[in-house]
Amino acid sequence: MKDNQVERPVLLVVGAGASSPFGIPTMRDFVLEFLRTSDLVKEFVELNGRVTSVYGKLELPAQKLWHIQDSLKSRFNKIRNRRDYIRDDIEEVIKYLVPEVKKGSDLASALLNQVRTLILDKCSFFNFDLARSVYDSLFDEILRYTPRLDICTTNYDLVLEKVIEAHEGRYHLTDGFGYGESTMEYRWSPHVFDNIDSTEEGIIRLFKVHGSVDWKADTEKDLVVKLRSTVAVKLKAIQMQQKIEDLLIWPLPVKEQMKQLGEKPFKDVRERARECFKRRNLNLIIVGHSLRDKWIDDRVRLSVEKYRSNLWYIGPCPPDKDYLKSSRSNIIKKRFGENSIRELGQKLG
């Protein structure tokens, strides 16, 4: 932080739209990816009947909906870039399948496993060089005003961690994990969020309130671990002689989510993230988030209305929220990238 700058706390709220420029699908894109790649599309159509509203835009007769994959392969980019083609997203698909699984449907169970595998795979790989370039610019702008940065995200992907870790020495990542028994894993230690050296600059606290693709549960030892690579995942599975449980908040009915959210690590991370929204004179920057998540929506509203935060929203299609129309809100209707960051820097200044 520059000597002549007044320190202002900053909270960055990151949604799927912040990762999509780097190759991570949004929840809407996941519908297309699923329908394009699943070998059970015909069966899914017959099971669901409606499936998703995407079919209505493809001009295919109802009895031939299983030819969706051929159409997607030839028209994928056009469909992906037209928001009106898709009115449902992968969350709706999951919410439909879960009750069917409970009824004992083997097909629904197989489809649900395919969806989850797709999400885990697609959230694990991205354009690192582009992500690093964009986030470097963003961090340079933000850290002019504060020596430390808090980030709250509902994303499962590893974009933020990989970018921050690439700057070892310049930034110091605190994500709730400490060293485990080996260099291949970290163990959940939420106290690391609290034990911050107030004199050290470049500290970034990352609160992943919906979990992460590299968070796993060792149910045998009642441990939450973060595994550093796919090799570590396989080794851990062999050691445990069972499948590793993924620690993600899947888009499930509210009652089912609430049980998981009340357990570690989600209870710990949400409690600490909640406090970040309660600071006065806060610069609250939201990037690519739909604000459909009620917990995030409530926190943002409280921050603006009660704690008088200054709010900046970056995204081409801001959601219809009354607090985004307040005098304390600034909207940048652009995709997350160098241009929107440049405009953010001008407005922050």
Same domain, 253 and 339: yes
Q: Report if residue 241 sits inside a domain.
A: no
pLDDT attached to residue 253: 61
Mean pLDDT of 203-229: 82
Q: Report if residue 166 sits inside a domain.
A: yes
Q: Convert the chain into a string of H (helix), E (strand) and C (coil).
A: CCCCCCCCCEEEEECHHHCHHHCCCCHHHHHHHHHHHCCCHHHHHHHHCCCCHHHHHCCCCHHHHHHHHHHHHHHHHHHHCCHHHCCCCHHHHHHHHHHHHHCCCHHHHHHHHHHHHHHHHHCCCCCHHHHHHHHHHHHHHHCCCCCEEEEEECCCCCHHHHHHHCCECCEEEECCEEECCCCCEEEECHHHHCCCCCCCCCEEEEEECCEEEEEEEECCCCEEEEECCHHHHHHHHHHHCCCCEEEECCCCCHHHHHHHHCCCCHHHHHHHHHHHCCCCCCEEEEECCCCCCHHHHHHHHHHHHCCCCEEEEECCCCCCCHHHHCCCEEEECCCCCHHHHHHHHHHHC
- Give tens-digit pLDDT for 234-250: 555 545 545 567 888 88
Same domain, 206 and 294: yes
In this predicted structure, the answer to whether residue 323 has a pLDDT above a threshold of 70 is yes
Same domain, 37 and 147: no
What is the percent of the chain with per-residue pLDDT over 90, rounded to a whole number?
Answer: 36
Question: Which residue, 256, 290, 254, 295, is CA-closest to 277?
Answer: 295
Highest mean pLDDT among 28-32, 107-111, 269-273: 269-273
pLDDT attached to residue 81: 52
In this predicted structure, the answer to whether residue 337 has a pLDDT above a threshold of 70 is yes
Same domain, 118 and 133: no
* Beta-bridge partners for 97: none
- Give tens-digit pLDDT for 109-155: 888 888 888 888 888 889 999 999 999 999 988 888 788 899 999 99
Q: What is the residue range of 151's domain? A: 10-23+127-176+192-211+248-348
pLDDT attached to residue 238: 47
Given the structure tokens 């930034």, which residue do they identify?
Answer: 171
Residue type, 345: G
Q: Provide the token pair at 178.
A: 């400490």
By mean pLDDT, which of 33-42, 133-142, 199-208, 305-314 is the weakest? 33-42
Which CATH number covers residue 159? 3.40.50.1220
| 76-106 burial code (b ≥16 CB/10 A, e <16) | eeebbeeeebbebbbbbbbebbbebbeeeee
Q: Report if residue 222 sits inside a domain.
A: no
Domain count, the chain: 2
Q: Are 76 and 32 spatial neighbours (Cβ–Cβ below 8 Å)? A: yes
pLDDT attached to residue 182: 55
In this predicted structure, the answer to whether residue 331 has a pLDDT above a threshold of 50 is yes
Q: Are 256 and 212 spatial neighbours (Cβ–Cβ below 8 Å)? A: no
Cα separation, 296 vs 274, whole angstroms: 9
- In the structure, what pLDDT confidence band is assigned to residue 7 with cuts at 50, 70 and 90? low
- Give tens-digit pLDDT for 47-103: 555 444 444 444 444 444 444 445 545 554 554 454 444 445 677 777 777 777 888
Same domain, 172 and 102: no
Q: Report if residue 226 sits inside a domain.
A: no
Mean pLDDT of 192-217: 87
Mean pLDDT of the chain: 78
Q: Report if residue 308 sits inside a domain.
A: yes
Same domain, 200 and 322: yes
Same domain, 164 and 312: yes
Of 122, 144, 165, the residue at which a domain comes to its end is: 122
Q: Report if residue 232 sits inside a domain.
A: no
Same domain, 113 and 18: no
In this predicted structure, the answer to whether residue 166 has a pLDDT above a threshold of 60 is yes
pLDDT attached to residue 51: 46
Q: Report if residue 136 sits inside a domain.
A: yes
pLDDT attached to residue 314: 95
Same domain, 157 and 258: yes
| HSE (side-chain half, CA atoms, 13 Å) at 277 | 22
Same domain, 77 and 207: no
Same domain, 116 and 136: no
Q: Report if residue 310 sits inside a domain.
A: yes
